[in-house]
C-alpha cells in the first residue's frame, strides 16, 4: 500500500495465513525491521521499531495457534524473555504487542489462570506479569461457531 512500510512473515509450509504489519510512513516517525528475535524459533511473529526524536517503540505482531506444540510455546517464552532484555537495555522506551495467543484459560481482567501452576498458560501469564504488560483488549473479539469466544491481545510495556 502506498504510503506504508510493510513487514510480513509468510507461512512457508502452506498457502494463506501469515502475518503482515503496515506502518504509516510519517516524516517524523521512522520504522525499521527488528531481526534480533529471528534466532528464536517461535512460529509466527514480526517485529519493527518505530523511532522518533524523543522515543522508540518496539512493535510486535504475534500469532500462536491453538494447536501450538510445546516446543513453540517454549520459544514464545524465550521471545518474551528477549523483550525483557530489550526493555532493560533501554533499546525501546515502550513495547506494543498485538496478536492472538489462544490461551482461553487466561483471564487478564481478573488476573487468573484456570490451569495448573506448571501449565504453558500459567507460564505465559506469569511472564506477561513479570514484564508489567498491560492487556488493553478486555472483551472477546473473535467468535467461531462451536468454539469459546476469545480475545485478541494488545499489550504495552
**Which residues share a beta bridge with 49?**
32, 58
Q: Is the pLDDT of residue 41 over 80?
A: yes
Q: Which residue has the higher pLDDT, 78 or 141?
A: 78
Reported pTM: 0.81
The confidence band for 150, taking pLDDT boundaries of 50, 70 and 90, is low
- pLDDT (0 to 100) of residue 119: 93
Asked if 126 contacts 134 with a C-beta cutoff of 8 angstroms, the reply is no
Q: What is the mean pLDDT of residues 20-49?
A: 87
Average pLDDT over the chain reads 83
Residue pLDDT, tens place only, 49-98:
998 888 888 899 999 988 999 999 999 999 988 887 766 666 666 888 88
Domain boundaries, the chain: 4-156
Within 13 A of 84's CA, how many CA atoms are on the CB side?
A: 14
CATH says 4-156 is which class? alpha beta
Using CB atoms within 10 A of its CB, is residue 35 exposed (0-12), middle (13-18) or buried (19+)? exposed
> Going by C-beta distance under 8 Å and a sequence separation of 6 or more, which residues neighbour residue 145?
none
Three cell numbers, residue 104? 482461553
Copy the grid coordinates of residue 64: 500462536
Amino acid at each position: 500500500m502506498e504510503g506504508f512500510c510493510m513487514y510480513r512473515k509468510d507461512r512457508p509450509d502452506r498457502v494463506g495465513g501469515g502475518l503482515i504489519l503496515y506502518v504509516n510512513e510519517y516524516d517524523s516517525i521512522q520504522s525499521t525491521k527488528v531481526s534480533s528475535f529471528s534466532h528464536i524459533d517461535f512460529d509466527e511473529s514480526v517485529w519493527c521499531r518505530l523511532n522518533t526524536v524523543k522515543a522508540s517503540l518496539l512493535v510486535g505482531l504475534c500469532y500462536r495457534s491453538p494447536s501450538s506444540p510445546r516446543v513453540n510455546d517454549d520459544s514464545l517464552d524465550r521471545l518474551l524473555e528477549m523483550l525483557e532484555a530489550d526493555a532493560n537495555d533501554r533499546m525501546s522506551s515502550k513495547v506494543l504487542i498485538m496478536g492472538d495467543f489462544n490461551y482461553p484459560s487466561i483471564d487478564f481482567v481478573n488476573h487468573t489462570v484456570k490451569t495448573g501452576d506448571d501449565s504453558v498458560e500459567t507460564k505465559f501469564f506469569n511472564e506477561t506479569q513479570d514484564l508489567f504488560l498491560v492487556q488493553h483488549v478486555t472483551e472477546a473479539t473473535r467468535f467461531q461457531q462451536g468454539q469459546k469466544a476469545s480475545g485478541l491481545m494488545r499489550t504495552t510495556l
